Amino acid sequence: MCILELKLVGDIAGQFRVARYQRGYRWSSLEVNQLLNDIWNSNGAPYSLQPVVVKREPERKDAWELVDGQQRLTTLYLVFFYMHRENLKNVPPPYSITYDTRSQVENYLRTLDHERREDNIDFFHLHVAYTCIQAWFEKNGPTPIQRQNIADEVFRYLVQSVRVIWYEAPQELDATTLFTRLNVGRIPLTDAELFKALLLSSRHNAGGVVDRTHEIAAQWDTIERSLQHPDIWAFIADEATVNTPTRITLLLDTLAGGPHGAARPQFHTFDVLRARVEANGSEAVWNEVVALYELILGWYESRDHYHKIGYLVAIGQRFGDLVSLAGNQNKREFDAILDRRIRETLNLTPTAVASLSYESDKKKCTRLLLLMNVETVRRIQGSSERYSFRLHREQAWSLEHIHAQHADTLTIKEQWREWLQLHREALADLTSIDPNLRNALLQRIDNIIGNAIDGQVFQELVRDVSAAFTFADTSPPAAGHTVHSISNLALLANGHNSVLSNSAFEVKRRRILALDRQGAYIPICTRQVFLKYYTDADAQQFHFWSTKDRNAYLSAILSPEGGVGSYLK
């Protein structure tokens, strides 16, 4: 069984052996300075360094094979050595380091002879690190008295508050295999791995209590496998955790609480949960993990919770904050809390929605249309269909003009030709306009495609072709409607070229249908827009996006029953 504990640097003692499969000491001044700065900036508060992984040497007391942490432990040795050598402290380094294939290095560590620094590469790097330590102390303590004060503080931190995560691997575990696993890609032990080792360590099982280590290990694996399900993971994983290889880390971080992002101290989760294990026992803490996992499964099984929580996480809300909101609320109370949180994220009135513009409110437009799509799926009665936050997360999304009236952003001749070809194909099937007008436009397109394209001629043709695809009706437009209004916007995955983005409704409708037939992920409301779902059948002009279409679409968005109206102020 492994042993896992926090060990003060000053309590590390004995002899450490570096096996032949490891390289020599290679830290540069950058890493050495970082370590010293971290120790100094801890200011006497408990501070955990990266793990030191060891295996006890058979039949030898206080003798260890140093599996991982050689660079760190050697640097700390050099710090102790410097303070002792300069008579800043009268205590020598509390441990020694030997090398299977570098016996001379062990001797050099006892002297750090400046004259021998060039004898081999190991001496050179050790001397560089020692010189860096010397320079750090002299910089922070320019006078002898100041330097003594610095040394006193550093020494006090090392023996009272700075610790390593001491991981004693089981005897039966092959050290070479463990070293390889830890060092491929320089992936250190994580909070989750350390906490798991703590839970399964027999040292933390209280006397007289049934040993549940095997059961906990099995439950751990079950939870991890379940969270690896892409649909479960996608609706709870925020941006900071989505790429976490060990999914249970999200649960552990949530239970530990505290700062997040760059402000979160290293091994904060392990430190907090270790203290709880020491205070309450491993079983009590593990039961908290299981309860949080069951809460997630309950949310996933509830269509309302799945969609509302998934939406909030998708727009940047933190999973841990949503767990805090849940508290001891029942389903009805929690639903009301989620509704209020969604309403706060929108912070819009119906009038403000109608005034949203692609030019000035892209983020609000995107958020609103995402909610429209999520709500449309959630409200389908008797359906097991869910909005796919997994597919949503896998793609970058853009606001697409349902009908683009201009092609000003197209500046390359190849783009001009493609735009004309796309519109020619649609125009040829447009039987609802005057045949003479259609034929004249087709002839003009054919003439320009086969010859040199002039920018002015292209823009004139764009104007006339766009007019042919713009339905002329006398319906009153939606209040404040422009080409950039929310009533002319839909969500579509990136990857479609700028030519398509600058195209008329009919061209886009054909492309959307083609993508849908190919199995591409088209959000439900985008599909419904191009299928004229929101417009009364007797008012439809199939190839055009008219004022009636826009008014109907905006009404659907504002609807409390099928749109986002219930989340507006």
User: Is-contact 268 258, C-beta < 8 A?
Assistant: yes
Establish if 365 belongs to a structural domain: no
- CA-to-CA distance for 415 and 423, rounded, in angstroms? 12
- CA-to-CA distance for 93 and 110, rounded, in angstroms? 10
User: Is-contact 565 350, C-beta < 8 A?
Assistant: yes
Residues 95 and 243 in one domain: no
- Give the pLDDT confidence score for residue 208 in this predicted structure: 47
User: What are the φ and ψ backbone dihedral angles of 171, each rounded to 5 degrees?
Assistant: -60, -35
Most confident by average pLDDT, 176-185, 264-273, 308-317, 422-431: 308-317
**CA triple 245-250-255, angle to 5 deg:** 150
Residues 154 and 253 in one domain: no
Residues 35 and 181 in one domain: yes
Residues 458 and 554 in one domain: yes
Establish if 509 belongs to a structural domain: yes
Residues 334 and 470 in one domain: no
- CA-to-CA distance for 501 and 511, rounded, in angstroms? 11
pLDDT tens per residue, range 426-483: 777 766 777 777 777 777 877 777 677 777 777 777 777 777 766 544 455 555 567 7
- Give the pLDDT confidence score for residue 310 in this predicted structure: 96
User: Is-contact 484 359, C-beta < 8 A?
Assistant: yes
Write out the DSSP string of 371-435: HHHHHHHHT-TT------HHHHHTS-EEEEESS----TT--SHHHHHHHHHHHHHHHHT-TTS-H
Residues 442 and 298 in one domain: no
Please count the structural domains in the chain: 3
Residues 221 and 184 in one domain: no
Among 530, 551, 528, smallest CA distance to 403 is for: 530
- CA-to-CA distance for 225 and 219, rounded, in angstroms? 10
- CA-to-CA distance for 400 and 488, rounded, in angstroms? 8
Residues 326 and 461 in one domain: no
Establish if 200 belongs to a structural domain: no
- Give the pLDDT confidence score for residue 374 in this predicted structure: 95
- pLDDT averaged over the chain? 84
- Which range (6-20, 30-44, 237-251, 475-489) has the least confidence? 475-489
- Give the pLDDT confidence score for residue 538 in this predicted structure: 58
| Residue 326: domain span | 207-346
